[in-house]
């Protein structure tokens, strides 16, 4: 079993829809949870970052962490064609100074105009 | 955020040869990382490269196959040695500017194809 599971998609939704992206994990020691966005032929860029459980909102993006279920989500409201990309979840343990990231496989998202 | 460049951006190589990938950062950073991103698979950490010490390799990766240099706080190289088609992948350099993982930034990647 992989430490982090993520549906690879592809996922296609019409412009303006709400998008829900999810990851599950098995390592209960994970404390930091991140979402990266990766455009084609580019490196990943950090989109959202949360520590422990709870919600975090940034503009059209909301990240949710449910540690009891080992489940994290990223919601995109009012989706735009520019949101078309691969979205990677990543996690790390509480380990100052050398925090290894464990990634999901990524979900390829296409927003249809 | 740090600006990271990688050279080459892509290459096609013959089996049995070696390729050295360069990573340059626009500011001094303590921690640099090398990842591999294969189609349909997770980003996988190859090694952590800290200036002034030997690189730390993850399980499944060895120094003879992926030697790393870190001569200063803004530059690192990763060599993929004695390449086989299984080494075809995107190789990404990453840096961490602060103590926590929310300060980790990625370069654009090097797309390697081995024939």
Q: Is the pLDDT of residue A94 over 80?
A: no
User: Chain A partners of B36 at a C-beta cutoff of 8 Å?
Assistant: none
pLDDT recorded at residue A96? 62
- Sign for the pseudo-dihedral over CA of A42, A82, A89, A33: positive
Banded model confidence at residue A90, pLDDT cuts 50, 70, 90 = very high
Residue B53's pLDDT is: 81
User: Which of B101, B102, B103, B110 is the best substitution to test chain A (most A C-beta atoms within 10 A)?
Assistant: B101
Residues of A with CB under 8 A from a CB of B: 2, 4, 8, 32, 34, 36, 41-46, 49, 88, 90, 92, 96-106
C-alpha–C-alpha distance, residues B13 and A13, integer Å: 38
- pLDDT tens digits in sequence order for chain B, 115 residues long: 789 999 999 999 999 999 999 999 999 988 899 999 998 888 999 999 988 788 999 999 999 999 999 999 999 999 999 999 999 999 999 998 766 666 788 999 999 999 9
Which of A101, A106, A108 is best to mutate for the B interface (most B CBs within 10 A)?
A: A101
> For residue A75, what pLDDT is reported?
97
pLDDT digits (tens, 9 = 90+) for A16-73: 999 999 999 999 999 899 999 999 989 999 999 888 888 999 999 999 999 999 999 9
Residue A98 has pLDDT above 70, yes or no: no
Mean pLDDT of A101-110: 94
Q: For every residue of chain B, which 3-state class applies, written as one string?
A: CCCEEEECCEEEECCCCCEEEEEEECCCCCEEEEEEECCCCCEEEEEEEECCCCCEECCCCCCCCCCEEEEECCEEEEEECCCCHHHCEEEEEEEECCCCHHHEEECCCEEEEEC
Query: In chain A, which residues have their Cβ closer than 8 Å to the Cβ of B104?
Result: 46, 101
Nearest Cα of chain A lies from the Cα of B74 at a distance, in angstroms, of 18
Contact (CB<8Å) B101/A92:
yes
Place A108 in a pLDDT band, splitting at 50, 70 and 90: very high
Instruction: Check pLDDT > 80 for residue A95.
Output: no
pLDDT in tens, A2-32: 799 998 889 999 999 999 999 999 999 998 9
């Amino acid at each position: 079993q992989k430490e982090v599971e993520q549906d690879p998609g592809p996922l296609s939704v019409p412009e303006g829809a709400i998008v829900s992206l999810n990851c599950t994990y098995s390592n209960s020691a994970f404390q930091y949870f991140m979402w990266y966005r990766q455009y084609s032929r580019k490196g990943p860029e950090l989109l959202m970052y949360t520590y422990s459980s709870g919600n975090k909102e940034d503009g059209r993006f909301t990240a949710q962490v449910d540690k009891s279920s080992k489940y994290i989500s990223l919601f995109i409201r009012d989706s735009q064609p520019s949101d078309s990309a691969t979205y990677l979840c990543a996690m790390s343990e509480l380990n100052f100074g050398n925090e290894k990231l464990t990634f999901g496989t990524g979900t390829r998202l296409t927003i249809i105009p | 955020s740090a600006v990271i460049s990688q050279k080459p951006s892509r290459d096609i190589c013959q089996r049995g040869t070696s390729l050295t990938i360069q990573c340059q950062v626009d500011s001094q950073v303590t921690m640099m990382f090398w990842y591999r991103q294969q189609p349909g698979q997770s980003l996988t950490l190859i090694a952590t490269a800290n200036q002034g010490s030997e690189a730390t390799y993850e399980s499944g990766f060895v120094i003879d196959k992926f030697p790393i240099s870190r001569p200063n706080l803004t530059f690192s190289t990763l060599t993929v040695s004695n390449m086989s088609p299984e080494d075809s992948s995107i190789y990404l350099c990453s840096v961490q500017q602060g103590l926590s993982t929310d300060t980790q930034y990625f370069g654009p990647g090097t797309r390697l194809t081995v024939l």
